[in-house]
Amino acid sequence: MDSKKIRLRANHFESLIWGLNNFDGIETDLRLNADDELVLYHDTKHGRRSVREMSSDECRNENIVIFKDFLSHPEVIDAKKAGKTFIFEPKPDCEWYRDVSQPDYFRKIFLQTIDDHNFSIDNNLHLMSFSEAMLKPFIEDGINVYPIYPLANFCVYKNRWSLLLLKPLSFYFKHSPKSLLRYTKDRGYTGALMSFPYFYGLNKLFRESRVDIIEYAIELDLAIIANLYFPKLERKYDDMILLTDNTRIYPNYSSNNGKIIAHRGCGANDVKIPISEYKELQSLVYI
């Protein structure tokens, strides 16, 4: 028995291929670098450097995956043909806690990149974001587009604690989940990602239950992406897309009822796999 394990890191190439092989699809982040190429990276900075100031070669040297490299990889091409789900999160550019994004330019680069690599727009391609500005340019492109509620501009938060405190508090009492779903429908979005924990706490005493929210979305003909917390509830709804960070629990989970998607390939908290499995994974990634 292989007792040694190696940690997979979120959004690394190995993690993304591992997620595609073990789940119904993956979610990953997209942002622009200095060469105006898209990279798969969550944070604004890599160490002390802004990703927006790093060239593609520098990104590769730091194990930051270039989007076009990802799309052209044989394992990704095969996963696309097999009907796997791909969810990309456009990230805004932040500079000194200011949003300096160019959403229309981001859209142009994204569409050009997927067109160059024959990565077709179909029902298995999804975009979601906390930033409505990053999503709006895509609404008319035939891509499934989802705002993530509660909406928040990550650029204006100086640290994680202010984000965790201010984002939920501002949403708790201003918007009910049903009002957000009506807003989603009116704006022409495909659906919404409901970060259900933000609607819990004291809110659950006088706001809609999860079941009410899901069934109201169905009534409005909206798709729902949700964090996977209560499988017995969520797997009642065949069309739900479920994101999970619990990748140690759910690999190879049956996809009979809805899709389970690996957040950032291996979960935001990373996962450890046997060294023998890792070596096999490397043989797939670095061909």
* Residue range 77-107, pLDDT digits in tens: 999 999 999 999 999 988 777 778 899 999 9
Tell me which CATH code domain 5-285 carries: 3.20.20.190
CA atoms within 13 A on the CB side of 96: 0
Query: In Å, how far are 108, 111, 137, 278 from 104, measured between CA atoms?
Result: 6, 11, 6, 39
pLDDT tens for 224-254 read 888 776 656 666 666 788 888 878 777 655 5
C-alpha 69/C-alpha 249 separation (Å) is 29
Q: What is the pLDDT of residue 269?
A: 75
Domain spans of the chain, in order of start: 5-285
Picking from 138, 134, 130, the residue whose alpha carbon sits closest to that of residue 114 is 138
Closest CA to 131 of 108, 106, 114, 112: 106
For residue 205, the one-letter residue type is: L
**Residues 149, 192 contacting (CB under 8 angstroms):** yes
CA separation for the pair 75, 35 (Å, rounded): 25
Start-to-end CA span in the chain (Å): 27
How does pLDDT run across 2-14, given as a tens digit for each residue?
568 889 999 999 9
pTM here? 0.90
- Each residue's pLDDT tens digit, 191-204: 998 765 544 444 55
Nearest partner of 85 among 261, 255, 223, judged by Cα: 261
